[in-house]
Every structure is written in structure tokens, then in C-alpha cells.
Amino acid sequence: MIPKKKSVVIVEDDLLLQQHLIEILKVAEDITFLGAVSSAEEAEKKIPSLYPDVILMDINLPGKSGIDCIRELKKRLPEVEVVMLTAYEEEDNIFRALKEGASGYLLKSSNSNDILDAIRDVFAGESPFSGPIARKMAMYFREEREIEDERETLSPRETEVLKLLAAGYIHKEVADELGITLPTVRTYVKRICFKLHVRSKVEAIIKYLS
């Protein structure tokens, strides 16, 4: 069976960076580039009719922010995966974007391989983060534990999901087994990754089994 191509849309107001991203996507054999827009308002108008698998979203857009744009697009495209692009490692924005439904976070300085890998990862249900951002997230959680002196644990449902993933179930099989939707499984996987302080589903499984 030929693997399904991942369809991608870009939301980026820096036209030089936008063109750079377009060139990266167009040479990838497993990705279909659907289009690029320069504002949240334009994204909300055009993207829902394109039904992309993945959106590369600039967090700091003119007018409405990328975070607000996620909120609106997720209402109309609940299964779309969003990878945020930013020039800064801002914890507050990272967690705001994740709360609104972002699946991953990359610095704009990321190389072409990291960008393509991020698209492939979110398409596979994982949560990619640039190394510097992952370190900031880990530091944030460490500081939170020190301040609140609390131990983060997985909920019973998150544990069920992780056990099935560790047993080799794919996301759809987990959804069928637990009687939940595929987007809900993906949400659980993201929560599990954050609580275990890992960057991907594979790392979460390894940490769970170790």
C-alpha cells in the first residue's frame, strides 16, 4: 500500500520565511503543499475548505494571533494537527498554544529536516518540539514541582491509553478499544508526553516500560 501523503498549509506573514517553507515542502515526496496565507483572518477564511492534515502556524501574526487562529480553526477542523512556529522560546505562549490544540512547537531557525520530521511526527500522532523548547518545558515542569511540591501522575484513563500503546496498538485501535474518538486519543497522548516530560509517544512508551 502506498502511504498517504500528508497535506500541509502554511500560515506565516514573513514572506521570505514563507517562501523558504514552501520550497522545503515542495521537494518532500511524502507531502502535498496546499497553500500559504499571511494572516489569521485569511487562514480562517481559506483553510477550512482545504482540509489539510497539518498546519504550520506562525504564533505572532499581524492582527489576530496564531494562538487565537488555532482556536477558531480547531472548531471547524477538529482533527487537523498544528505545529507552531516561533522565533522565541516563550513558555507562556507555548502552553497557551498547546491548550488551544497545537500538537507541536518549533523554532523558526529549525532546519529543513526538523521541519519535515515534525510534520511526519504529528501526522503519526506524536508531539514534536525543538530541542531548546523541550528543555524549557522540562525546566518549567521541574520548577512547578519544586514550587508546588506535587508529584505528577497519569490519570487512570491516560494510563490505559499508554498501556495499549505500549502493547503495540495504533491510535485507531486504542480509540476502538476504549470507545473514544481518534482526536481524544491524540489529546491523551499529548497530555501523557507533557506529564512524563518526553517529546514523543515512543519516548513515553520507553519511559513507561523502563
CA dist., res. 126 & res. 124, Å (int): 6
Per the structure block, which three cell numbers stand in for 207?
A: 519511559
Confidence at residue 201, expressed as pLDDT on a 0 to 100 scale: 81
Per the structure block, which three cell numbers stand in for 92?
A: 507562556
Q: Which residues of 66-80 are buried (b: 16+ CB within 10 A; e: fewer)?
A: bbebbbbbbeebeeb
Q: Which residue has the cell 513558555?
A: 91
Confidence at residue 150, expressed as pLDDT on a 0 to 100 scale: 33
Confidence at residue 18, expressed as pLDDT on a 0 to 100 scale: 96
Confidence at residue 170, expressed as pLDDT on a 0 to 100 scale: 85
pTM of the full structure: 0.66
CA dist., res. 191 & res. 169, Å (int): 18
Confidence at residue 151, expressed as pLDDT on a 0 to 100 scale: 36
Confidence at residue 115, expressed as pLDDT on a 0 to 100 scale: 92
Low-confidence ranges of the chain (pLDDT < 70): 1-3, 89-91, 129-152, 210
pLDDT digits (tens, 9 = 90+) for 130-168: 655 655 555 555 544 443 333 357 888 888 998 898 888
Q: Which domains does the chain have, with CATH numbers?
A: 6-135 (3.40.50.2300), 152-209 (1.10.10.10)
DSSP-derived secondary structure for the chain: -PPPPEEEEEE-S-HHHHHHHHHHHHT-TTEEEEEEESSHHHHHHHGGGT--SEEEEESS-SSS-HHHHHHHHHHH-TT-EEEEEESS--HHHHHHHHHHT--EEEETT--HHHHHHHHHHHHTT---B-HHHHHHHHHHHHHHHHHH-------HHHHHHHHHHHTT--HHHHHHHHT--HHHHHHHHHHHHHHHT-SSHHHHHHHHH-
